[in-house]
Structure 1
């Protein structure tokens, strides 16, 4: 696991990185129910790798708006037939999309290199220790219960990140193992999401990589009037805008198209 973790961390800052999405859930907003068997999940993971994804992010609980939370037993039951074999078969690092420490510990034990926590180490009090003890890297995503259109969203995000980073430091997670995610689509209005994307560079003073996950989200669908699987162009536009403002990791459904787009973007940005 550690060599794959270091493989991924070593690429951070070198170029734009693509995190391919693999949901093994029945109810995710874009691809729920498609990849619940080992064979289907493995085929999709291999497809994402062939398309150029740098890391595969596997999730066993939907976090879409209005989702029904599932207990850790269900999450583990969805992962057990799939994750161990996937970790062995895929040469690229794998991240686990979970906010539960028990799920993170299991995933790390079978070879997962990164924990992608949509509650930034703050939902489960044992999560920071699970990450630290397992030696995994971690994505700390901003989230909040409910939406407040009058919120100073940037100030709220900094307070959230400061608390999460304090938890990480207390647990002994190395700074170099941490990635921040602004949580586009989580606990924010449409205008706040757009504002945060426009001001991503205000978080660069943390000296940590920024990950953006906006692929196919309803925010984009509302803007361009497209169905879920027809939001590629809108997703590319949003991710390129985020890259121009300092984001360096992009969680996407369509790996090949993003790999091509970022090759051009990175070449221009570094010319």
Structure 2
């Protein structure tokens, strides 16, 4: 179980993309070297992904995904004892990742992708992160629609948490993620971020994952700045995650661990 003490800053989850087509970095770095750097910068958790979930991303086979993530997890585990998360929607990939040393299953489909997802997570004794996504990555940003985005996302996440517990996953192992940027417009994302306190009020720790996402650029476009380069969205990322931390988020999933660590340290000093 990921341990969190009351009144401390949220855990920082560092993102490692073992993919050639990530929206943020496009496979521009060596994943193992990057993992080592994030550890030095103070990441509490490392999140390893071998299949891009950016809008329009093409699916990856189980075999290819395993070949990308398992050697990396094994190499990290040989050097570092901390929590490693596998970011996948496939049970077979999760099994292989856990055998290699992962302990957390971060699933953008909230364990709905395959009939055996829930039972696999229970068998692995996994900590699980259940995320909301409307649609699927290739089409999720085509025309997202909600009557009440906060109520609908909240209800979905609580339903998935109940399903996880019914499958044998301990309540204390369940995290919720509102899925910022996954089948949401700018206004949907802003509404969910504003609702952090509400979403965090149900007894399940909340993860916020807004790092470098497109909605930050969309907000700037209103002021005439496109911020098309994802690395130019760090300021917006920090703003969202500090707001989320102040309102009850217990983990922040970010690309820029050192910057987030610094921001949280100063936030703590001021509160």
Q: TM-score, normalised on structure 1?
A: 0.90
2:19 corresponds to: 25
1:172 corresponds to: 168
Residue correspondences, number: 258
Q: 1:79 aligns with which of 62, 69, 75?
A: 69
- Does 1:265 pair with 2:258? no
SS at match of 2:156: helix
**Whole-Å separation in 2 of the counterparts to 1:252 and 1:162:** 24
- Does 1:159 pair with 2:159? no
Shift of 1:200: 1.4
Shift of 1:11: 2.5
**Whole-Å separation in 2 of the counterparts to 1:118 and 1:12:** 26
Q: CA contact under 8 A between 1:12 and 1:248: conserved in structure 2? A: no
Larger helix percent: 1
- Pick which of 232-241 and 163-172 moved more: 163-172
Q: CA contact under 8 A between 2:108 and 2:130: conserved in structure 1? A: yes
Which structure 1 residue ranges, 5 or more long, are not aligned? 1-5
Q: TM-score, normalised on structure 2?
A: 0.90
- Does 1:246 pair with 2:248? yes
1:105 corresponds to: 95
**Whole-Å separation in 1 of the counterparts to 2:233 and 2:24:** 11
Q: CA contact under 8 A between 1:94 and 1:112: conserved in structure 2? A: yes
How large is the Cα RMSD of the aligned pairs?
A: 1.5
**Whole-Å separation in 1 of the counterparts to 2:81 and 2:208:** 23
Which structure 2 residue ranges, 5 or more long, are not aligned? 221-225
- Summarize deviations over 1:79-127 as a string: whole Å, max 9, x none: 2332212222223211000011111111111110111001111122211
Shift of 1:47: 0.5
**Whole-Å separation in 2 of the counterparts to 1:12 and 1:125:** 35
SS at match of 1:235: helix
2:235 corresponds to: 233
